[in-house]
Amino acid sequence: GESVGLHLPTLSVQEGDNSIINCAYSNSASDYFIWYKQESGKGPQFIIDIRSNMDKRQGQRVTVLLNKTVKHLSLQIAATQPGDSAVYFCAEKAEGSARQLTFGSGTQLTVLP
């Protein structure tokens, strides 16, 4: 069946460094991908999304890269700040199917002072 997984459950980075969070997916029909940030005790918050007709999209301090060949998605956070400490989820769906968004299990990002 379909699955969305993350390579590492935890990631620690020094404040000011860049962070890279990875995500693998298995459904070759997936064509819409989203990254969410979830702080402790809060609901997931949208960060950035990308459709399969693109391989890179940039936001404020964040970049999402999509490699459809190897079914891999990454979220890059530039100049990581303490406020970036959270769990990050990737999610995917195939827009042509009735299946709703499928979420990965998340990566805990910890920013060290």
Partner 1 sequence: NAGVTQTPKFRVLKTGQSMTLLCAQDMNHEYMYWYRQDPGMGLRLIHYSVGEGTTAKGEVPDGYNVSRLKKQNFLLGLESAAPSQTSVYFCASSRTRTEKLFFGSGTQLSVL
Q: How many CB atoms lie within 10 A of CB 55?
A: 12
Residue 101 binding partner 1, by CB under 8 A: yes
Distance separating alpha carbons of residues 78 and 90, to the nearest angstrom:
18
66 binds partner 1 (CB under 8 A): no
Contact pattern from residue 8 through residue 47 relative to partner 1, giving x for each residue in contact according to CB under 8 A and a dash for the rest? -x----------------------x-x-x----xxxxxx-
The dihedral formed by the CA atoms of 86, 106, 17 and 14, expressed in degrees to the nearest 10: 60
- Residues 35 and 91: their CA atoms lie apart, in Å, by 6
Name which of 41 and 83 has its Cβ closer to partner 1.
Answer: 41
**Residues at the site binding partner 1, with contacts judged by CB under 8 A:** 4, 9, 32, 34, 36, 41-46, 49, 89, 91, 93, 95, 100-101, 103-106
